[in-house]
Amino acid sequence: MLDMSPSLPRWRDLLPLLRPRPIELSPVRRALARSHSIADLRRESLKRVPRAVFDYVDGGADEEISLRRNRNAFTRVEFTPSVLRGGQLDTTTTILGKPAELPLVLAPTGFTRMMHHAGEPAVARAAADAGLPYTLSTMGTTAPDALAAEVPGADLWFQLYVWRDRGLSKDLVDLVRQAGYRVLMLTVDTPVLGNRRRDLVHGLALPPRLGLRAFLDGAMHPSWWWKLLTTEPLRFAALTGDGSVGPVELGNTLFDPTISWDDVDWLRSQWSGPVVLKGIQSLADARRAADAGVEAIALSNHGGRQLDQAPAPLELLPAVADAVGDRLEVYVDSGVRTGADLAAAVALGARASLVGRAYLYGLMTGGGPGVVKAIDILRGELTRTLRLLGVNRVADLTSEHARLRGSA
C-alpha cells in the first residue's frame, strides 16, 4: 500500500529539479532569448528604438484598416490535418528557378539602417545564411553595389520605384545589373506615398531630426542614438546627391503619379532577368500582369501602408492562383507573421510569402542576430505546422490542407 500522507519537503529531492539558467548579461541576448514569436520580437523592439522609429515600421496608412485586415485574413485560415502520415520533412521550394530553404522572401524595406545601424547588410546576410532571397529597396540605406560586395553569394533582388525622372530609374537598373542582382521587383502600388499618420505626428525624416520630443525620447534609447551618431550617416544610398530627404518630400518630388503599364513594357526591355510586380490587388490586374509577360506577382497592399481599406492579399490568393498560377509565380505579402501563415499561403496557391515587419522587429530588437531569430521562429513554426498537418513536403501543400473560413 502506498503511503500518501503528506510529509515535510525533502531538500535533497528538490535540488535536482532546480536548474537555474546561466545568467545572461547582454540585454539584447536576453531580449532575444525571451522572444518565442514574431509578436514577442515586436514587443521587445518597442523597448529598444525611439517611438518614431517603431511607429514608422509598425504603422499603416490612414485608419489602418488594411493593416488590421491583413492579419484578420490569416485568422480565417482553417487547416485540415491528416494523421499517421510521418516521413522525411522537406521545407524547401524553388523561387524563380532557384532553390530556397523556405517558401519565403525578405521584402524590401526603406530606411533599414534607421531601425538598427547594422541595416541591410545584416538582413541580407541572415537571409543568405538561411538560404533565402533578400530584396534591397530603392529607399535602402546601403548602396546596391556595396551590399552585393559585402554579402557575396546572396540571392539578391532589387526593388525599383519608377521615378519621375526615368533616367534615374534607368541608371539604377544598370547599376544593379552590373552588381549581379538576379531579380527586379517593380513596386506598383505607390504612385504617391500613402498617408502614414504616425509618421506625420512624429515629423519623420531622414536623417532623423532632433526635435525636442525626439531628443527626450532619444534619452531613453541612448545606445540607438550613439550608434546613429557614430556610424556612417543615414542616407538613401541608391539616390544621387546627399540623399537626405523626408518621406513626405520624397512622395511629392520623386514618385510618379503617371506610372502606367507602358512602364512595365519599358522595364521588360531594360532587364532580361525575372521581373516581379509587387502591389497587385485585383484579379483583373493579375491577369494583366500575366499578359505583360512578367515572371511573378506579389499580391500586396504594402503591409497596409498605401491604400487603406484595400483587399487583404490572402483573400485574393485562391482566385488569382487559380486564374494565372500556371503562367507566373504568385506570392503573398502583407500580414505574414507565423510559420503557419507560410504554410497556409502555399496551400492556398502561393509559391512563397514576403515578409517585411517580421524581420524588422527582429532587426530592431537585436540587429543581425535578431533577424536570424525571426527566421528561426518562422522556420520552427512552419516545420511544426507541417508535422501537425501530416504533410511532409512544402511542395505537397494544396487547397485540401487549408481553406478560408466563411468562403464558399
Ligand X SMILES: Cc1cc2nc3c(=O)[nH]c(=O)nc-3n(C[C@H](O)[C@H](O)[C@H](O)COP(=O)(O)O)c2cc1C
Return the active site residues: 302
* CA 114 vs CA 13, 207, 250, 337: distances in Å: 52, 8, 17, 22
- Name the one range near ligand X by CB under 6 A: 33-41, 117-125, 259-267, 299-307: 299-307
132 forms part of the interface with ligand X (CB under 6 A): no
| Residue with Cβ nearer ligand X (100 or 139) | 139
How many residues of this chain bind ligand X (CB under 6 A)? 26
Least separation in angstroms between residue 118's CB and ligand X is: 16
Nearer to ligand X, 110 or 369 (CB): 110
Residue 365 binds ligand X (CB under 6 A): no
Q: Which is nearer to ligand X, 300 or 385 (CB)?
A: 300
Q: Which of residues 144-203 bind ligand X (CB under 6 A)?
A: 159, 187
Residue 163's region, left for phi above 0, alpha for psi from -120 to 50, else beta, is beta
Is 357 a binder of ligand X (CB under 6 A)? yes
Q: Residue 289's CB: how many other CB atoms inside 10 A?
A: 25
Stretch near ligand X under the rule CB under 6 A, chosen from 25-33, 142-150, 333-341, 375-383: 333-341
CB 398 → ligand X: shortest distance, Å? Answer: 24
Residue from 108, 119, 133, 367 that binds ligand X (CB under 6 A)?
A: 108
**Residue closest to ligand X, measured at CB:** 356
Q: How far is the CB of 110 from ligand X (least distance, A)?
A: 3
335 lies in the site for ligand X, by CB under 6 A: yes
In this chain, which stretch among 80-88, 191-199, 215-223, 302-310 interacts with ligand X, using CB under 6 A? 302-310
Grid cell of 161 as nine digits: 520605384
Q: How far apart are CA 270 and CA 170, in angstroms?
A: 8
Does 338 help bind ligand X (rule: CB under 6 A)?
no
CB of 291 to ligand X, least distance (A): 22
Asked if 235 is part of the footprint of ligand X (rule: CB under 6 A), the reply reads: no
By CB under 6 A, residue 385 contacts ligand X: no
Instruction: Write a three-state SS string for the chain.
Output: CCCCCCCCCCHHHHHHHCCCCCCCCCHHHHHHHCCCCHHHHHHHHHHHCCHHHHHHHHCCCCCCHHHHHHHHHHHCEEECCCCCCCCCCECCEEECCEEECCCEEECCCCCHHHHCCCHHHHHHHHHHHCCCCEEECCCCCCCHHHHHHHCCCCCEEEEECCECCHHHHHHHHHHHHHCCCCEEEEECCCCCCCCCHHHHHHCCCCCCCCCHHHHHHHHCCHHHHHHHHHCCCCCCCCCCCCCCCCHHHHHHHCECCCCCHHHHHHHHHHCCCCEEEEEECCHHHHHHHHHHCCCEEEECCHHHCCCCCCCCHHHHHHHHHHHHCCCCEEEEECCCCCHHHHHHHHHCCCCEEEECHHHHHHHHHHHHHHHHHHHHHHHHHHHHHHHHHCCCEHHHCCCCCEEECCCC
Angle between helices 51-58 and 38-48 (to 10 degrees): 150
Report, in Å, the least distance between residue 63 CB and ligand X: 17
* 110 sits near ligand X (criterion: CB under 6 A): yes
Q: Is 139 in the site for ligand X (CB under 6 A)?
A: yes
Please tell me whether residue 351 binds ligand X under the rule CB under 6 A: no
C-beta of 104 vs 391, nearer to ligand X: 104
List the x/- string, 27-56, binding to ligand X by CB under 6 A. -----------------------------x
- Does 302 interact with ligand X (rule: CB under 6 A)? yes
CB 297, min distance to ligand X, A: 13
Q: Which of 285, 333, 341, 381 binds ligand X (CB under 6 A)?
A: 333
Contact 31, 44 (CB under 8 A): yes
Question: Taking the complex as a whole, how short is the minimal distance between the CB of residue 166 and ligand X, in angstroms?
Answer: 18
Q: Is 107 in the site for ligand X (CB under 6 A)?
A: yes
- Please state whether the peptide bond connecting residue 207 to the residue before it is cis, i.e. omega within 30 degrees of 0: yes
* Least spacing, CB of residue 74 vs ligand X, in Å: 10
CA distance 98 to 221: 41
* Residue with Cβ nearer ligand X (126 or 358): 358
Contact between 95 and ligand X (CB under 6 A)?
no
Nearer to ligand X, 160 or 391 (CB): 160
Give contact residues for ligand X (rule: CB under 6 A): 56-57, 70, 107-110, 137, 139, 159, 187, 278, 300, 302-303, 305, 333-336, 354-358, 360
